[in-house]
Amino acid sequence: MVVPIVVGTHEEAQGSQLADGLAQVVRLLEEPVLLIASSTLSHYSRADRVAIQDGRLIDAICAVDGTRLLREAAAHGVAMCGDGPVRVVLDAARQLGAQQGTCVAYATSAEAGGDPNSAIGYAGVVIR
């Protein structure tokens, strides 16, 4: 079964309520659950700048710290498309016992032949 959730807010209280509810539902299920949040990282900066900005975001994700993720994105002007959903999943995962993440892949659009002066960052992170 796949249950998509669309998050359209950065309101801290609403994000926290959604994370709490998601964690509660997962606890009630008898079968294993895989939570997935999908987002690009930094957008439309030089590839070297994108890599620096993304490093901060990835550090917050690997720390399973949704609040820190939003703070880092806001502080550095990062236009991360899915920072709200990623924050919700990180907060729910922490409530469910997750302690750390591992970045298993990272690249920018420049590395795939895109414009190095207008790059987008991508990462795969596994949270356990």
pLDDT tens per residue, range 37-75: 999 999 999 999 999 999 999 999 999 999 999 999 999
Residue 81, in any domain of the structure: yes
| Full-model pTM | 0.93
Asked if residue 70 is part of any domain, the answer here is yes
Domain that holds residue 78: 12-22+41-127
In a domain, 51, yes or no: yes
Q: CA–CA separation, 35 vs 11, rounded Å?
A: 21
Pairwise CA distance, residues 96 & 44, whole Å: 35
DSSP 43: E
Asked, for residue 32, whether it belongs to a domain, the answer is no
DSSP 112: G
Residue 1 covered by a domain: no
pLDDT for res 4 = 87
HSE, side-chain direction, 13 A CA sphere, residue 31:
3
Could you give the C-alpha distances from 9 to 27, 46, 60, in angstroms and in order?
Answer: 25, 28, 19
Q: Is residue 6 part of a domain?
A: no
pLDDT band at 8 (very low <50, low <70, confident <90, very high): confident
Tell me: the pLDDT tens digits for 15-45?
899 999 999 999 999 999 999 999 999 999 9
28 falls within a domain: no
Domain tally, the chain: 1
